[in-house]
Amino acid sequence: MKNLKNTLFVLVLTIISCSGPAPKVDSQKKTNIELKMAVRIDSLRPSLWVYGMMQPNDAENSIVAGWYGFNFDIRGGCVTPQDNEKEEHNRKTDSILTARIGKDWEKRFNKSVDSLYNIDTSALAIAQENSFVKDFYEKTEKFNEENKVYAPSLEFYCHPTLDDNIKAVILQGGGVNKHSREFHYLTITVDLEKKKVINIDKTVYALW
């Protein structure tokens, strides 16, 4: 009986000790771990900081950057960090990409961007010359006398597909539905090799 009481006493003490408050995590240690993880991620896929207004070929820059294993980080706006911070960050990225790709990585990158931009420009031109697309654009794009702007302000965007010779050109713009402000109007499939539109998806849906 005495042994049983001793056993129960030890068991109760164990339960109490195990149910106590969890040890506090040192906030500084946690911050250091997070910083190390961020540095590790940035070294695996570094980023190139770019400031200023959006440029026509920024979409191509981002796509090609993915091919080369880094992020084209468009920070935009007029607010920029200290020049030293930007230069130091991009210098680290340059050293990583130089080690991985070679000293001429930036030259090769820009050449790829130019090539992709020219291809996209060709696809857009083919889509915009299609008779149905031209007619749809003219009927849908209307001038708003009150605000002196075109509504729905249609825009063409070019996207890659799994086939290098096929491009998807998207026509989107402002909407007339009171529940939505932006609509996807057409998906125009362009065959670059045949230099013609091979399909037009006329399904209209809200983007946001």
Strands 182-191 and 166-174: antiparallel
Strands 182-191 and 47-50: unpaired
The string of DSSP codes covering 118-153 is HHHHHHHHHHHHSHHHHHHHHHH-EEETTTTEEES-
CB 21 within 8 A of CB 45: no
Q: CA nearest 122: which of 49, 26, 194?
A: 194
Residue 67, token pair as written in the block: 């091919």
Within 10 A of 168 (CB to CB), how many other CB atoms are there?
A: 17
Output the pTM of the full model. 0.65
- CA separation for the pair 182, 177 (Å, rounded): 9
Hey, what domains does the chain have and what are their CATH numbers? 33-103 (no CATH), 118-206 (3.10.450)
pLDDT tens for the chain, 208 residues long, are: 545 445 444 444 454 445 555 555 566 655 655 545 545 556 688 999 888 777 778 888 998 999 999 999 887 655 555 667 888 889 999 999 999 999 999 999 999 999 999 999 999 999 999 999 999 999 888 776 666 767 788 999 999 899 999 999 999 988 766 667 788 999 999 999 999 999 999 998 888 7
Within 10 A of 117 (CB to CB), how many other CB atoms are there?
A: 17
